[in-house]
Chains A and B, each alone.
Chain A
């Protein structure tokens, strides 16, 4: 028995990735892709042999949707899914503000609908191994955490503060903060943020450097800048290093790569190709299982609200020019 799943909006760059993976999952029937602009939806739908439809039509035929809209549109699309009792896997970040994030979580909590965040790093094999070692005590007492999640500047609505809620801070804080919370069980207590617009001519920040402390006292540094050159051979990176009293462990989500140098291409001549286990695939399988009554998605909306609080504190730190406590 297949589960009817839809892609709700193609605004997010991951919509095409999810569509391609869903179309190959035997337990899934990719019933359609919806969008306000039909050209983009048609392109995505044609690529995987599915239908284009309106958001409302999609909600009527799908049991679960992956919401890949602008962050500002999450609110309305979540309400639409809740009205139709359709399970939700939501692209990050949850909302453009902490208040809106809490409101979304409250509305979802009041329903019986399956909800989760599209946070694939919790399914990354290196990260899972790191968590196992941390929980087994191999790291010892945590002294410091260091993370990177840089990427190419995505452009489009990602650089529209009204649609995205900010720039690199809003876009590239979630994954590593979420994974560090998940691995260590600690919360971010304080944030000092340095931001600027240095790489591109944008109305939002593309530099995102966060100096944090965790609830156990460990320091936590994160570089989430849009500093990866557009012509880099790989889109970006996702790494975490744990420095402990017993040992230091580091995990690179995309470390399993090889290089392809092309003699024939006009554009990209060098490309790094990831060959490790695809965490997106595991994320989608888990979502389908949760609709079928299995375990819930790994990252909950409550987790997303806690990350939203860190993002909120980062922007407040920039305004105040000093470290600020995170208010959850």
Chain B
């Protein structure tokens, strides 16, 4: 039985706790709430820091319920303790943070798994499989446009939670990182990025133009409302020289509905987030350490370039030897 400590904002921690409860091979032994918001509905001890949680428990894994970059202290504490960690991408938002984590992880017995849960979605897996088997030929342009990065109610709570500790550029970078991760996973390494980001009282917005190593292009547009929670809206389109694959939110959510409201047909432990957590637990229980201390690295490196592009208003090329 793997003992897990969770770190993050209330909504995300609760969502993950609900899934761990359904796993026979894992148990939650504590939760760390970095703000003063209550986690009293959780049936587990709550700590004010990961260090305290690790001191009081025999911990097998740390699940950071959100982007690793927003929980730098917890990442470092878990790495220092040699404990496996899972987080959402990006795990770093600047070169110093990136280098410190990568070099630190290489010296420790712990490891970091930072895939986007999108990789564990059946939809994105099917898209990737089709691309790999030549369904659209060589990629020309991939396009992702979304108004809400995560499905279901409560996503804005997550955004507000991350926003509480940082500025809109970092939050948008964290949002973009999920799509960067999926694009990197599907079409290979990204070579160059150019991004513009804007913020207003009600909306934050970014558009990114990415160039893959093999020459294909991708665009990601993200709009996040800060005052209301619109229905998740997403439009994904992969266009290649032999055709196009695309879906929108209706394709993704119309399998079961009550009136016009989408209902999740997957049980929590078997949706994309459930499957990423199960993979984390499986890796913890494997006797051998993963082949790489940090997986994947590229999407976080690209996200750092995204932030740099926003700051400098220039395209940023990611050197080939760093990929």
Contact segment of B54-62, B65-73, B210-218: B210-218
Contact segment of A66-74, A192-200, A298-306: A192-200
Contact, CB under 8 Å: B202 / A146: no
Contact segment of A82-90, A154-162, A203-211: A203-211
B interface, by DSSP: helix, strand, loop or mixed? strand
- Is A28 an interface residue when CB atoms closer than 8 A count as contact? no
Contact, CB under 8 Å: A198 / B205: no
Taking CB atoms, residues of chain B closer than 8 Å to A245 are 200-203
Those of A229-258 within 8 Å (CB) of chain B:
229, 231-232, 243-246, 248
- Is A321 an interface residue when CB atoms closer than 8 A count as contact? yes
Contact, CB under 8 Å: B200 / A227: no
Count A interface residues, CB 8 Å.
Answer: 35
Count B interface residues, CB 8 Å.
Answer: 35
Of A140, A198, A211, A246, which one neighbours B207 at CB under 8 angstroms?
A: A211
- Is B221 an interface residue when CB atoms closer than 8 A count as contact? yes
The digit string for A206-222, where 1 denotes a CB below 8 A from any CB of B, is: 11010101000111010
Smallest Cβ-Cβ distance to B192: which chain A residue? A194
- Is A144 an interface residue when CB atoms closer than 8 A count as contact? yes
The digit string for B232-256, where 1 denotes a CB below 8 A from any CB of A, is: 0000000111011000000000000
Contact, CB under 8 Å: B207 / A144: yes
Contact, CB under 8 Å: B205 / A144: yes
A-B contact count (CB 8 A): 102
A interface, by DSSP: helix, strand, loop or mixed? loop
Query: With A146-B207, A227-B141, A227-B244 in contact, do A321 and B201 touch (Cβ < 8 Å)?
Result: no
Looking at the assembled complex, report how far the CB atom of B69 sits from the nearest CB atom of chain A, in whole angstroms: 23
CA distance A144 to B239 in the complex (A): 24
Of B145, B203, B217, which one neighbours A143 at CB under 8 angstroms?
A: B203
Contact, CB under 8 Å: A225 / B194: no
Smallest Cβ-Cβ distance to A206: which chain B residue? B140
7 A-B residue pairings within 8 Å (CB atoms):
A192-B315, A194-B211, A199-B239, A211-B194, A219-B196, A244-B203, A245-B202
* Interface residues in chain B, defined as those with a beta carbon under 8 Å from any beta carbon in chain A: 138-141, 143, 145, 147, 194, 196-203, 205, 207, 209, 211, 215-217, 219, 221, 223, 225, 239-241, 243-244, 313-315
Top 3 nearest A-B pairs by Cβ distance? A198-B140, A227-B239, A144-B205
